[in-house]
Amino acid sequence: MRNKTLIIVLTVIVSALCLYYLSFSFVARSVQNKAELYATDAQGNVNQQKLQSYLDSIWKEPVYMGMTYQEVKENELGLGLDLKGGMHVVLEVSPVEIIRSMSGNSKDPNFLKALDRAQELQKNSQESFTTLFAEAYREIEPNGRLSRIFSNTANRGKISYESSNEEVVEVIEAEVEDAIDRSFNILRTRIDKFGVNQPNIQRLKGTGRIQIELPGIDNPDRVRNLLQGMANLEFWEVWSPQEFSPYFMQLGQYLDKQQQAGKLNLAAGNTADNEQDALASAAAKQATVQEADQDVLAQAATGDSTAAGDSATIAAATPADTNATALDSAAAPQTGVLASLFTQMPSGIGANVRDTAKINDIFSRPEVRAIFPPNMKFLWGVKPVAGENRQEFVEFYAIKKGRGGNAPMTGDVINDARQDFDQTGRPEISMTMNPTGAKKWARLTGDNVGRQVAIVLDDYVYSAPVVQGEITGGSSSISGNFTVEEAQDLANILKAGKMPAPTRIVEEAVVGPSLGQEAINQGLISTLAGFGIVVIFMIAYYSRGGFIADLALLFNVFFILGVLAQFSAALTLPGIAGIVLTLGMAVDANVLIFERMREEAAKGLSMREVINKGYEKAFSTILDANVTTFLVGFILYFFGSGPVKGFAITLMIGIVTSFFTSVFISRLFVENTFKKGGRLAFSTSLADKMFRNITFDVMKYRKPAYAFSLAILAFGFVAMYINGGPNLGVDFKGGRSYVVEFDQAVPASDVRTALVDDFKEAGTEVKTYDSPNRLKITTSWLADDESIQADEQVKAAMMTGLQEYNNLSPEVLSSSKVGATMADDIQNTALIAMLLALVGIFLYVMLRFRKWQFSLGGVVALLHDALMIIAVFSILDLFGISYEIDQVFIAAVLTIIGFSINDTVVIFDRVREYMHDNPRSRVREVVNPALISTFSRTIITSLTLFLVVVILFIFGGEVLRGFSLAMIIGVMFGTYSSLFIATPIVVDTIRDEEAPVAAPQVARSAR
């Protein structure tokens, strides 16, 4: 074996990395167990407050190799929402409202018609909404000028009356993109402050959508309101330290008395009861906070508030330039309870991030509120500041309420804000206001010279600069020790109130924790069962060789989990399905190698030559098979979303690791075993007896096979017509679905009858889900309405229809929603994914085999397999066995495409080899020998994968039942098409007079 040392070193390095990254999961689990043990009382009940207090206390404490618990949690192999429960949401920023706002809410009839038309076009188009709006306007008013609609004060400097339609559209596109960025940043901040453990938020490239995953959420309604609420940008006056410090002294005295009397109970847990928390509080008091950047508003360099230009600049200042230094003696509590919670910061007072919940609890109490003036309220800064001992601190601001409790200024007066550079090249923010805002800004800055003005978004202070002079004209610039990214972020914040950019939920899934635990159990059982069946079969068929293949499988699973942990990916139920599937497919490489070794041994070669020939001749076939399957996985990842992405990631990682373990690690074991024992068994009596003296003529049966396939497809599509079309899932047709559990089993048909009237005769489906007392209810009623009100209306209608079953205590365990627009996009991307997979495989096969006939045969067979799965699903639906066609189903179809081309490429490869070895033979003459020589490999690979997916069907749970059924059908027809469709088509399309083309030496391989 060449480069043996390199393979050993690489295996050791990869194994060490996998162990390292998986260790975080074990440490995190250990800390969680300790926290639960600490918070469990004598009766076995877990006190959630004590549990959270313990975890908070060590959040910034080193727990493993100098890393904090927070860093350990960030690096652990997490569980997806389907395994631990939580909420998955896809939000879409509404471009319609942005365009309306930019037009000044124009009532122009053609403008309004164009907006409506663009919304219709969007349902069947992948183009951006702005492009569709421009097309619609051009269609409605061919000679119309958009500039007459958008040339207004709000767009001054960007759009003039002379601007062309193309220039206007370009500005609108930029504003929509900015709005998406603002929404993303605002949502990220809201989620960070929401207190969810390990949230995930990301922009979906190429769309105006934002995907959010929130594990462990138990209040979905609160999340919906939080995510869809409009951004609220405000400017507030700030109390000076001299003004609010006397009230803090009164509060400190009050709290000290309460503590002495034993009446003080902090919301996040009593620090006296928690040694870890007490230690953390002590560390907080001693921490030296890093000096914060201070933004300062300054008047124009002339100092003349009436000077021409009305432009203000913002210069950086040190704490000595502001009155913040008074805080050293006046504001920071020196002793008592407040001293344990608050600390001195350069620009004011602040607190350790972990103590903010306790402080919020104190300041929410009526007796504490009574100490402070009615027009004083308190807000936190948004960005924590790093201190010593890995602690983080956040500033605490005393805000002065305006008349009626309102802010003196709101963000709707801002025309524009953007990141720029000052004369010295430092990043700054340029801000302009409309005339109304300019007047308010002049008044606010004039009244607060030498004082702070807080820039507040969603009740969090993003900046609190000190005003050094009145600013008139409404044009300002903010400069300081910003990075470019920080300046861009603050500019986005200032633009948040400029125009409405509401978000709407277009896809949603809520999974209850009980379903998550069931999914974990089902995934674990299916994985172990699948692994067990493969292990037993390989040993029974290949003896010691099978045992070595099983060791390679163990390494494969270990590497998959290690790589997932390294990329901080979450393990999902489809991901587990991907691992189970990889186990079945990974066997294929070992089967190819061992079958080739058996052939070489039959030629009388020595064992050393058998090993070398077996691996050498199987290599390129294994490579071809893995590349085609990886291509399918990549397409799935690129076009899929949610569970499909998780499956695709696991599948791609599994393909890479299985190639490495099967080709390289297994060879290390094989050669080491042979070296020690001088012999190696890779065959048993079972293997010797099976597939002996197999003879058949495929070409003889090709026409009956064509007829059989056409008959099944015709029957399937007739059944689909009778059924009223394919049984599309919610993610393909839009709508809402709920999993409802009852105390006892209830007939699905009776429940559907009870719900039909409440769902206004809309399409409604009710079926048993995983157990007789659990139903999945799906309805398309109000599918076009994606508002929260519609969500509540549909759920209320369902609960009304279930009132007659109230004695059985119906409980909603999970729910999901896909808007009509999102459903259209999912359908389109699924179709694109299918087409791209077929095109990609066609091109790859043609590149490798140098004849388009091989590509045609392979792709026709793949299309045959995909259509067969759809047809059989429709036939089963006709007989009352109903499974939905959804994203997971498409993942199954694409996986079968990968598996089937794998099978087909092995046969093609042997045909090519025989053609090369017999240059005078025609394709028709070598087809049957090639099929017979690869027949054992084809059947064994298909059988192992078939057994695995059957186990997945039995134990994988209802979520994966449709997927595994599609896989079962696909494995059977994929094997059939490789033998009776793909190869015969190659023969039928290559003319007899064509001379065979010899393959390159590197491609001369066999199964």
449 near 421, Cβ under 8 Å? no
Does 384 lie in the same domain as 267? yes
CA atoms within 13 A on the CB side of 820: 15
Q: Is the dihedral of CA 753, 758, 764, 767 positive or negative?
A: negative
What's phi and psi for 463, nearest 5 deg?
-160, 150
What's phi and psi for 215, nearest 5 deg?
-70, 145
Does 525 lie in the same domain as 538? yes
User: Which DSSP state fits 105?
Assistant: S
User: Which DSSP state fits 290?
Assistant: P
Report CA 57 to chain centroid distance, whole Å.
Answer: 30
CA atoms within 13 A on the CB side of 886: 21
Which of 785, 818, 851 corresponds to the end of one domain? 818
Which of 228, 250, 279 corresponds to the end of one domain? 228
C-alpha 179/C-alpha 744 separation (Å) is 50
Q: Which of 127, 125, 126, 149 is nearest to 137 (CA)?
A: 149
Does 248 lie in the same domain as 204? no
**Residue type at position 887:** Q
Q: Is residue 921 part of a domain?
A: yes
Kindly state the tokens that stand for 621: 């076939």
Does 832 lie in the same domain as 781? no
574 near 647, Cβ under 8 Å? yes
Specify burial of residue 887 (Cβ count, 10 A radius: 0-12, 13-18, 19+): buried
Does 864 lie in the same domain as 803? no
Query: For residue 302, what pLDDT is reported?
Result: 28
Q: Is residue 725 part of a domain?
A: no
* Regions of the chain short of the pLDDT cut 70: 1-2, 123-124, 126, 193-198, 206, 218, 265-335, 347, 389-390, 479-480, 496-501, 513-516, 640-643, 677-679, 687-688, 692, 761, 820-821, 991-1007
Which of 789, 818, 847 corresponds to the end of one domain? 818
Query: For residue 869, what pLDDT is reported?
Result: 92
Query: For residue 634, what pLDDT is reported?
Result: 86
C-alpha 397/C-alpha 382 separation (Å) is 11
Does 361 lie in the same domain as 400? yes
Q: Is residue 954 part of a domain?
A: yes
Neighbours of 980 (CB within 10 A): 22
Summarised one tens digit per residue, pLDDT across range 646-659 is 778 888 898 899 88
What's phi and psi for 409, nearest 5 deg?
-145, 145
Report CA 409 to chain centroid distance, whole Å.
Answer: 38
Q: Which of 158, 144, 156 is nearest to 109 (CA)?
A: 144
C-alpha 149/C-alpha 106 separation (Å) is 7
Kindly state the tokens that stand for 101: 């706002």
Query: Which residues, at least 6 apart from 444, have a Cβ–Cβ distance to it below 8 Å?
Result: 235, 237, 408, 409, 453
Which domain does 537 fall in, by range?
A: 512-720+824-1003
Residue with tokens 């083309």: 997
What's phi and psi for 331, nearest 5 deg?
-100, -40
Q: Is residue 123 part of a domain?
A: yes
What CATH number is associated with residue 604? 1.20.1640.10
78 near 290, Cβ under 8 Å? no
Does 254 lie in the same domain as 315? yes
Q: Which of 559, 509, 553, 515 is nearest to 77 (CA)?
A: 559
Does 238 lie in the same domain as 222? no
487 near 430, Cβ under 8 Å? no
User: Which DSSP state fits 919?
Assistant: T
What's phi and psi for 571, nearest 5 deg?
-85, 120
Does 316 lie in the same domain as 273? yes
Query: For residue 16, what pLDDT is reported?
Result: 93
Summarised one tens digit per residue, pLDDT across range 943-999 is 888 888 888 888 877 777 888 899 899 999 999 998 889 888 988 887 654 444 444
Q: Is residue 715 part of a domain?
A: yes
Q: Spell out a b/e string for 244-267, using b for 16 or more CB atoms within 10 Å of the CB, else e.
A: bbeebeebbebbbebbeeeebebe
- DSSP bridge pairs for 409: 235
What CATH number is associated with residue 771? 3.30.70.3400
Q: Is residue 287 part of a domain?
A: yes
Q: Is residue 888 part of a domain?
A: yes
Does 454 lie in the same domain as 318? yes
Q: Is residue 728 part of a domain?
A: no
C-alpha 709/C-alpha 624 separation (Å) is 27
Query: For residue 497, what pLDDT is reported?
Result: 63
Kindly state the tokens that stand for 19: 């162990």
445 near 471, Cβ under 8 Å? yes
Does 776 lie in the same domain as 636? no
Kindly state the tokens that stand for 673: 């075993």
Look at the chain and report how many structural domains it folds into: 5
Query: For residue 718, what pLDDT is reported?
Result: 94
775 near 801, Cβ under 8 Å? no
Beta-strand ranges (E) seen in 437-596 are 453-457, 460-463, 466-467, 475-479, 503-511, 570-571
C-alpha 300/C-alpha 297 separation (Å) is 10
C-alpha 341/C-alpha 355 separation (Å) is 6
Query: For residue 867, what pLDDT is reported?
Result: 92
Q: Give pTM, 2 decimals.
A: 0.69
- DSSP bridge pairs for 38: none
**Residue type at position 399:** I
Does 784 lie in the same domain as 701? no
Query: Which residues, at least 6 apart from 1000, have a Cβ–Cβ distance to it below 8 Å?
Result: none
C-alpha 219/C-alpha 859 separation (Å) is 48
Q: Which of 392, 375, 374, 391 is nearest to 383 (CA)?
A: 392
Kindly state the tokens that stand for 410: 């709101």
